[in-house]
Amino acid sequence: MDREPSAELFDLRFDDFARLAGVGTGTLYRHFPTREALAEAVYHGEVAALCDRARRLQATLPAAEALATFLRGMVDHIDAHKGLARTLATLMPDRSGALAEGSRTLEQAVTDLVAAAVRDGTVRDDVDAGAVMMALHGISAAHDRPGWRAEADDVITLVLDGLRRPL
């Protein structure tokens, strides 16, 4: 079985991941015997880090600012991890349940941010986090477009403006 990801899927070889993790290749293979297992672990780690960030922002910033900071940070994250979604889809086609679970977990973090902003009166109460997640998915899916970054930032601005409670 070929254990090293192809160049178009990862910038790093499987052995490079071991070196970066500070473990031997054998140790990495014992914990992640397939590329799929490694991809799933990376995905769950990313989701956990994003959810942790959402909680920290909610605990330290006013609700509307926490939501805006998180959404703008999601664009940064998508930009920094452009190949991750494609890699996961390629390596994990039969693990859609794992991807769906992560998506639900991330949506709950966004739901909590939106709900806090609704409670403090800065965000409308007639739009739910599902619409926000749809915008994030659209941004992610369009990452190959020329001018993607500027357009992604514009979409987040539109979402935030659309969520703002009218005066």
Integer Cα distance of 68 and 90 in angstroms? 31
pLDDT digits (tens, 9 = 90+) for 107-133: 999 999 999 999 999 999 998 899 999
pLDDT at 76 over 90: yes
DSSP characters for 56-104? HHHHHS-HHHHHHHHHHHHHHHHHHTHHHHHHHHHH-TT-HHHHHHHHH
pLDDT for residue 156: 97
pLDDT for residue 100: 78
Interval 55-81 mean pLDDT: 95
Domain ranges of the chain: 1-33, 36-163
Integer Cα distance of 30 and 164 in angstroms? 49
Integer Cα distance of 10 and 35 in angstroms? 10
CATH 1.10.357.10 assigned to domain 36-163? The reply is yes
State residue 123 phi and psi, 5-degree precision: -125, 140
